[in-house]
C-alpha cells in the first residue's frame, strides 16, 4: 500500500520502537526520537539526528502524482561509563550491530505504509578519553525509500 504524504516521522517512530525492544539494547540503552537533553539517564543512548529528504516523480501523468521519497535517518550512538577505551569501542560496535540487525530483520520497518525498504547506508565510529572516562560515539545513517501516492 502507498502512503499519501511523507512517512519520515512514522519511520522514525517505528525504527525507534524496534530498537527499544532489540534484545541487546533493552534495559541498557535509552533510545530517543531526538536529542534527549536532560532526559538522558543511562550511560548508553541512541537518538535520531537531523532528517533530510528528497522526492522524485518516476512517472509523469495527469492528476495526483506518484512520488518516490528518499530520506535519511541519522542515528547517533553515545556510550559512556565503561572502564577503558577498548570496552567502550566494543560496546559502541555492539550497539551499531544491533541497529544493523533490526534493519536486516525489518527492512520495510514492519511493513510501515509506504516504506519500500530501509538499510544502513553509512556508519562511522570514534572513541576518546575525557576527564570523566572514555566516550564512544557512532553515527549510523539509515536510508529509507517510500512510495507516495
Instruction: Mean pLDDT check: name the lowest of 2-11, 23-32, 116-125.
Output: 2-11
Q: Are the CB atoms for 82 and 68 separated by under 8 Å?
A: no
The pLDDT value given to residue 41: 75
Helix, strand, coil content of the chain in percent (nearest 5):
25, 40, 35
Tell me the pTM: 0.88
The pLDDT value given to residue 25: 93
Mean pLDDT of the chain: 88
Terminal Cα distance for the chain, rounded: 9
CA distance 132 to 136: 13
The pLDDT value given to residue 116: 82
Q: Are the CB atoms for 94 and 24 separated by under 8 Å?
A: yes
**Rounded to the nearest 10 degrees, how much is the dihedral formed by the CA atoms of 53, 58, 62, 63?**
-40
**Rounded to the nearest 10 degrees, how much is the dihedral formed by the CA atoms of 104, 110, 114, 118?**
-20
What are 79-136's pLDDT values in tens digits?
A: 999 999 999 999 999 999 999 999 999 887 877 777 888 899 999 999 999 998 999 9
User: Per-residue pLDDT for 24 more than 80?
Assistant: yes
CA atoms within a 13 Å half-sphere pointing along the CA-CB vector of 42 = 15
Please give the C-alpha separations between residue 30 and each of 48, 54, 63, 119, in angstroms, as whole numbers.
Answer: 12, 29, 45, 22
Amino acid at each position: 500500500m502507498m502512503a499519501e504524504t511523507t512517512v519520515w516521522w512514522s519511520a522514525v517512530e517505528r525504527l525507534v520502537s524496534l530498537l527499544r525492544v532489540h534484545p541487546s539494547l533493552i534495559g541498557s540503552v535509552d533510545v530517543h526520537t531526538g536529542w534527549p537533553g536532560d532526559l538522558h539517564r543511562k550511560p548508553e543512548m541512541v537518538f535520531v539526528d537531523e532528517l533530510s529528504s528528497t522526492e522524485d516523480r518516476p512517472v509523469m501523468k495527469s492528476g495526483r502524482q506518484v512520488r518516490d521519497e528518499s530520506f535519511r535517518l541519522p542515528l547517533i550512538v553515545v556510550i559512556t561509563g565503561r572502564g577503558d577505551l577498548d570496552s567502550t569501542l566494543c560496546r559502541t560496535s555492539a550497539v551499531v550491530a544491533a541497529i544493523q540487525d533490526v534493519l536486516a530483520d525489518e527492512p520495510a520497518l514492519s511493513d510501515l505504509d509506504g516504506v519500500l525498504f530501509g538499510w544502513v547506508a553509512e556508519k562511522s565510529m570514534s572513541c576518546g578519553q575525557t576527564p570523566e572516562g572514555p566516550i564512544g560515539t557512532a553515527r549510523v545513517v539509515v536510508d529509507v525509500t517510500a512510495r507516495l501516492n
